[in-house]
């Protein structure tokens, strides 16, 4: 629903002052180094929800990540600003909402020379100006990948590929980008887990309630958990190397996912399966080991906080907040997330979440949730199984709303009572005040941050991606039940 379409009483419910107060306290921290010249390491996992043993999962063991949680602080309310990698990472590296900087469409601006709008820069620029060596670690043997995936052009985003290449005594900022648990290509979408000595027992796992609990779904879910275990191994490599280099006492480690798990209703969507991420921070001598914190944290806050902890002033324009250290800002009351075009699939969804309630607005309610997306159609067995079961009359959209051919304009969920977000309360009379308040907060956020999602993208871009995706997956068509084209 566009702002102009919202009834006047809804828009005016909070009034300018109160609504603005709910979004206030976004100004920068002056930045002041506390303790030694801190190195900053980001360990970034692809496609990871808080499906870890330190977060309570009983289906997978993650001893290295658990170790990091024992030595640092584990955050239970951390959320990404977009549930797909390139807009998410564009926001992470700038401390800005992807919708504010024109980086909101997945893998846009790859060849058109688009650059960040002034005065926005990558945080590596600020670290470099402060004397830091900046690293995208993918040549040191830790298992990281050369993943940037930004929706803007930028030469020399990092200084090097291994922090050992820095000058003697020079502090560094490093990213270790780990591919797992991202999917590979069909038919062996979890083939990289062959490295593991053991496999997750598919008969002993249970997918979330919004997926069928059958053999195909359990096998796919087990493959995801196998990939999480491989991720854990690579996290251990990074922690061991920090220890080997004698850096543990003056290095702050941030571990988090770039968005939620690679499953059909999770990745690319604004339910918690798509935007809730694990976040663990180890700050030796400062954060209490083994502590658990429940304040709301947005992924754009990682940039501002990392700069502040390094003693680097946080730029005035930055939309992220400092959530640690002496420059800590007031806790957020809300976090925000957005989804726009993903590959060839044109969509626009916005969400605001508090600790309890989440409000989602669908700008294309006439379309199904799962519009044609060839990557998901080919690579996600659970989705194909849901389609088969629906066709056979074994499941329905009433049981699994994600199957619906249209969607409501507004969705409201009580995430405490309904963590799987299956019961939409938007039409519930007793929840109208909550609905109105959160809709107004979302309106104000879109206005104040200059949400560029309302600007029409050139249709030729989606057409280009459609051609790309057909070409990318044409070799696997025959592998999917003999169908010439699996999406027909």
**Whose CA is closest to 81, among 311, 293, 339, 332?**
339
- Residue 8: how many other CB atoms lie within 10 Å: 7
Cβ neighbours for 54, distance < 8 A, ≥ 6 positions apart: 62, 65, 66, 69, 70, 74, 280
CA separation for the pair 288, 281 (Å, rounded): 10
Residue 332 carries which DSSP code?
B
* Residue keyed to tokens 């549930």: 83
DSSP code per residue over 122-184: -HHHHHHHTT-EEEE--SSSSS-------SS--S--SSBS-GGGSPTT--EEEEEEE-TTS--
CA separation for the pair 225, 238 (Å, rounded): 20
Q: Of the listed 26, 54, 82, 85, which one is catalytic?
A: 85
Residue 75 carries which DSSP code?
E
Dihedral angle of Cα 59, 336, 423, 343, to the nearest 10 degrees? -70
| Catalytic annotation present for 82 | no
Which H or E run includes 303?
A: helix 301-309
Q: Which two tokens stand for residue 16?
A: 């300018």
DSSP code per residue over 333-345: S-EEEEE--BTTB
- Residue 343: how many other CB atoms lie within 10 Å: 21
**Whose CA is closest to 117, among 460, 458, 450?**
450
How many residues belong to the chain? 488
Residue 50 CB burial class (10 angstroms; 0-12, 13-18, ≥19): buried
Q: Which two tokens stand for residue 375?
A: 């990557």
CA separation for the pair 204, 195 (Å, rounded): 21
* Residue keyed to tokens 């999962």: 57
Residue numbers annotated as active site: 85
């Amino acid at each position: 629903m566009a702002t102009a379409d919202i009834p006047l009483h809804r828009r005016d419910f909070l009034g300018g002052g109160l609504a603005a107060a709910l979004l206030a306290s976004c100004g920068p921290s002056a930045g002041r180094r506390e303790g030694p010249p801190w190195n900053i390491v980001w360990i970034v996992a692809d496609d990871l929800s808080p499906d870890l043993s330190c977060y309570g999962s009983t289906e997978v063991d993650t001893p290295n990540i658990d170790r990091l949680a024992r030595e640092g602080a584990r955050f239970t309310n951390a959320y990404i600003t977009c549930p797909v990698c390139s807009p998410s990472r564009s926001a992470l590296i700038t401390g800005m909402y992807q919708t504010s900087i024109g980086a909101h469409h997945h893998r846009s601006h790859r060849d058109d020379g688009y650059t960040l709008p002034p005065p926005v820069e990558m945080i590596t620029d600020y670290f470099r100006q402060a004397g830091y060596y900046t690293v995208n670690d993918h040549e040191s043997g830790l298992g990281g990948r050369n993943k940037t995936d930004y929706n803007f052009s930028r030469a020399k985003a990092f200084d090097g590929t291994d922090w050992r290449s820095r000058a003697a005594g020079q502090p560094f900022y490093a990213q270790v980008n780990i591919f797992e648990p991202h999917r590979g290509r069909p038919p062996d979408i979890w083939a990289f887990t062959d490295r593991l000595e053991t496999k997750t027992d598919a008969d002993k796992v249970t997918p979330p309630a919004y997926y069928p609990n059958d053999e195909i779904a359990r096998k796919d879910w087990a493959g995801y958990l196998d990939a999480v275990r491989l991720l854990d191994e690579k996290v251990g490599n990074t922690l061991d190397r920090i220890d080997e280099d004698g850096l543990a006492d003056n290095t702050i480690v941030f571990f988090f996912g770039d968005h939620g798990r690679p499953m059909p209703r999770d990745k690319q969507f604004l339910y918690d399966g798509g935007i809730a991420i694990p976040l663990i921070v180890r700050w030796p001598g400062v954060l209490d080991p083994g502590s658990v914190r429940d304040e709301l944290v947005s992924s754009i806050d990682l940039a501002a906080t990392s700069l502040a902890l390094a003693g680097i002033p946080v730029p005035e324009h930055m939309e992220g907040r400092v959530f640690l250290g002496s420059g800590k800002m007031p806790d957020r009351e809300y976090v925000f997330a957005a989804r726009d075009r993903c590959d060839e699939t044109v969509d626009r969804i916005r969400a605001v979440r508090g600790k309890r309630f989440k409000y989602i607005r669908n700008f294309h309610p006439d379309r199904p949730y799962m519009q044609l997306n060839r990557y998901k159609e080919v690579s996600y067995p659970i989705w194909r199984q849901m389609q088969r079961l629906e066709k056979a009359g074994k499941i329905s959209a009433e049981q699994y709303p994600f199957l619906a051919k249209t969607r409501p304009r507004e969705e409201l969920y009580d995430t405490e009572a309904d963590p799987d977000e299956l019961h939409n309360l938007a039409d519930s009379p007793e929840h109208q005040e909550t609905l109105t308040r959160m809709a107004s907060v979302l309106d104000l956020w879109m206005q104040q941050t200059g949400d560029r999602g309302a600007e029409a993208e050139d249709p030729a871009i989606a057409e280009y991606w459609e051609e790309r995706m057909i070409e990318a997956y044409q070799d696997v068509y025959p592998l999917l039940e003999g169908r010439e084209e699996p999406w027909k």
